Amino acid sequence: MTEKIVSKEDLKKILEGLMKTSELLAPGKEGDLVLFKPVKNPEEVFFAYPNSLKPVKEFFFPPREELFKHEIREGKVGLSSEHQENRKRVIWGVRPCDAKSLLMFDKMFDGEYKDSYYLEKRAKSVLVGLACNEPLDSCFCLSLNAGPHAKEGLDVLITDLGDDSYLVEGITAKGEELFQGCGKESGEGERTRKKELEEAAKKKIRKTCQPPPDLESFFEDPYWEKVSRKCISCGVCTYLCPTCFCFDLSYEGRDCIRFWDSCSFSPFTKMTSGENPRREKKTRYRQRVYHKFSYFKKNFGEIACVGCGRCLRECPVKVDIVEIVNQCSKDKTKD
């Protein structure tokens, strides 16, 4: 792993170069929102932001994706699946929590049935991380095997050291490649500064997520009815969640499309017969909690949450999944 120090000017030059050679995506402001979008001007790349409204999953698992086209001609059906161009894609400014979430997506889409649409996008993408120096009150990555300066899932990590200098840590070859031939070697002082920033950032994260080890035993508890009561069953938390991957398939005209769907919605599990195993709001909310903290763990060995805090920040009625998960065991012992 190489480490180097680059200046703001260096970064701008790198961005300018990447714009020419690759598809470059970075966070930028759109009205009051911070969203990842194609970079047209390096000046518009936003560095001092807590996190983007939508996680980077949208570039691997788009909200709506055309899978294939069908064509009926003279009574015959033809299918065509246009795979996207494999031009390199650089996603710049990914927060460590979002990078980690992609490793969970890998488990899902690179598993038993390999999803070519996802894997192609994964293969052509380079993730440039941006360490969090200013986590929000709603962040809780530390309690989920991640952290504001974590490198897992990234190709390279940039830390803003202040004074217009940045520490660049190469993680994979394709990440290092981007910074080849620029910057200077890092010194002891800069490495110490980076450590200090990391420690300071960690201290700012006070929210912790501690699901009880025996979550399964609360399944039938009336607790779920109580805590889901204020949930309005919209899709905000699931759509903005970096680890939620549920989808639906449909035809629109000649296209077969895949698009985001949410376990919060009642029709999600409703069968044509009218039967619906998750008709009640309580069962849907419980599904969300259990999928993240129990089922995914059982199937893939890890909790499907990276602590980005989007669901807490964006919930229209402030449902707090961390509080709900943490409280679950306490509530039980009280009875």
Question: Within positions 217 to 246, which residues make up the interface with other proteins, using CB under 8 A?
Answer: 219-220, 229-230, 232-236, 238-240, 245-246
Name which position in 43, 74, 275, 335 contacts other proteins (CB under 8 A): 275
State which of positions 22-51 bind other proteins (CB under 8 A): 29-34, 48-50
E strands within the chain?
Answer: 3-7, 23-30, 33-38, 64-73, 76-80, 89-94, 125-130, 156-160, 165-170, 184-185, 247-252, 255-260
Tokens of 233: 């069953």
Residue closer to other proteins (CB basis): 4 or 278: 278
Question: Looking at 4, 194, 291, 292, which residue binds other proteins (CB under 8 A)?
Answer: 291
> CA–CA separation, 108 vs 119, rounded Å?
11
Is 310 within 8 Å of 97 (Cβ atoms)? no
Q: Which ranges constitute the DSSP H helices of 90-207?
A: 96-109, 116-124, 173-178, 188-204
Binding footprint of other proteins, residue count (CB under 8 A) = 104
Output the DSSP codes for 192-228: HHHHHHHHHHHHH--------TTGGGGTT-THHHHHH
Strand partners of residue 38: 25
Closer residue to other proteins in complex, CB, 92/109: 109
212: contact with other proteins by CB under 8 A: no
Whether the Cβ atoms of residue 174 and residue 291 lie closer than 8 Å to each other: no
Check residue 134 for interaction with other proteins (CB under 8 A): yes
Indicate the residue among 136 and 182 with the shorter CB distance to other proteins.
136
**Residue ranges in 50-79 that form contacts with other proteins under rule CB under 8 A:** 50, 53-54, 63-64, 67-68, 70, 72, 75-77, 79
Which residue of 40, 123, 192, 208 would you call a contact of other proteins, by CB under 8 A? 123
Least spacing, CB of residue 104 vs other proteins, in Å: 13
Of the ranges 2-10, 11-19, 120-128, 177-185, which one interacts with other proteins (CB under 8 A)? Answer: 120-128
Is 191 a residue that touches other proteins (CB under 8 A)? no
Q: At what angle do helices 96-109 and 116-124 cross, to 10 degrees?
A: 140
Question: Which of the residues 250 through 269 are near other proteins (CB under 8 A)?
Answer: 250-254, 256-263, 265, 267-269
Position 208 contacts other proteins (CB under 8 A): no
- Separation of alpha carbons 314 and 237, rounded Å: 7
Per-residue binder mask for other proteins (CB under 8 A), 77-116, x = binder: x-x-x-x--x-x-----------------x-xxxxxxxxx
- Cβ distance to other proteins smaller for residue 84 or 145: 84
Q: Do the beta carbons of residue 98 and residue 55 sit within 8 Å?
A: yes
CB 212 → other proteins: shortest distance, Å?
Answer: 15
Nearest CB to other proteins, comparing residues 184 and 226: 226
Stretch that binds other proteins, among 10-18, 154-162, 180-188, 270-278 (CB under 8 A): 270-278
- Regarding 293 and contact with other proteins (CB under 8 A), the answer is no
Residue 236: CB minimum distance to other proteins, A: 5
The Cα 84–Cα 82 span in angstroms is 6
Helix (H, G, I), strand (E, B) or coil at 105: helix
For residue 247, is it left (φ>0), alpha (ψ between -120 and 50) or beta?
beta
Residue closer to other proteins, measured from CB, 33 or 200: 33
